[in-house]
Amino acid sequence: MGSEDGILMRRNEVDENVALIFGVTGLVGREIVKRLLTSKQRWRIYGVARNPEISSLTKMYNFISCDLLNASETKQSLSPLQDIVSHVFWVTWSGEYPLDSDKCCLQNKMMLTNALDAILPNATRLKHFSLQTGMKHYVSLVGEGSSLCYYSEKCPRKSSGRNFYYVLEDLLKEKITGNSVVWSVHRPGLLMGSSTRTLYNFMGSLCVYGAMCKYLNLPFVFGGTRECWEESYIDGSDSNLVAEQHIFAATSGRVRAKGEAFNAINGVGFTWKEIWPEIGKKLGVQVNETTMFDEGFSFDKEMGKRKHVWGEIVAKEKLVRTEIDDLANWVFMDLLFRFPSKLLGKREKVDKFGFKRRYRTLDSILYWIDVMRDEKLIPL
């Protein structure tokens, strides 16, 4: 699949939707594929990433291995698709450099520029471009205090700090202006899903931590600030919900020609203090309600030195062969539970738009634990 012959065979099938998904192996990219494959509409799917995932899902669509930072490679790989693609989903980004740096902005802009230059020149069938950024759109990436604020899509951009989300939005609007292509931007909070190709993978980190606690008979503690523990601090975003919202915006015909931005959040608030015992119970670990919060605990310090344990667990439980870094990011966990700004959003806009799906974050976490077990990424 994915050959030029296969592309040519489909050129005249104008009744078929053709999706091009950038970041197809990530948390949301995988779920977009699954939903399009089971859609009542007919879809042909192309997915772009540097490397295929550790899954049979890749066999169910046309996978394109491509380094989007390489302009010539991107053009060679994607230009044959430019006159057949009807919908583009951009759910990828580069985290090579610090998120608040000029280099991060430049690198992510380069990736999107190369992709747009490859597919826009003759994009005769392109209807919609769906861009994913995040709730950090509303705060400087270096943090601006923790005062309570529920962000709506009307909130102005922050003037301080560097934020590559702004760079991507501005570039997209500039490139597709005058091309009769409708765009939408989706801003999730803390993403929850299953992937071995995601840098900031909360579910992977949480589940590896739980498995290691169980294997080593360690207490399952929350390490972070008391504010993050006791207060609603961040919105969960189930990757199922985010994928559905991308597709709804891209196919419903309700997005205006000038484009729209939407928060993409579960819609039901939570605190870690409320749900931590249930997470521990699901993972089968020790949870002492009087000691499960430990402000001095560091995931990077405590779990980073036990890196070798994951290989033992994988071998003992006959799991899919992964390195610990494929799933867990301890620095991210420490940052998440000590984040200085509340990232809480409103979702009235997307509700009025007609997308009313909501999730409880605890339910999302428990669901994705089961998925990762079914995929044999973590122990039962």
273 is catalytic: no
Among residues 61, 138, 165, 233, the one annotated as catalytic is: 165
Determine the Cα–Cα distance for residues 343 and 30; give it in Å rounded to an integer.
Answer: 25
Cα separation values, 363 from 28, 238, 291, 368, Å: 17, 9, 24, 9
165 is catalytic: yes
Among residues 46, 75, 136, 138, the one annotated as catalytic is: 136
Mark residue 152 as left, alpha or beta (left: phi above 0; alpha: psi -120 to 50; beta: remaining): beta
* Share in percent of the chain as helix, strand, coil (round to 5): 40, 15, 45
Amino acid identity of residue 343, one-letter, is L
Which residue do the tokens 């989903």 mark?
A: 89
Phi, psi at 97, each rounded to 5°? -110, 160
Determine the Cα–Cα distance for residues 127 and 16; give it in Å rounded to an integer.
Answer: 12
Give the distance, in angstroms, between the CA of residue 286 and the centroid of all CA atoms in the same chain: 30
Cα separation values, 223 from 79, 235, 236, 342, Å: 48, 19, 18, 17
Cα separation values, 110 from 24, 116, 170, 182, Å: 19, 10, 13, 22
- In the structure encoding, which two tokens stand for residue 59, read together? 């066999």
Supply the residues annotated as catalytic: 136, 165
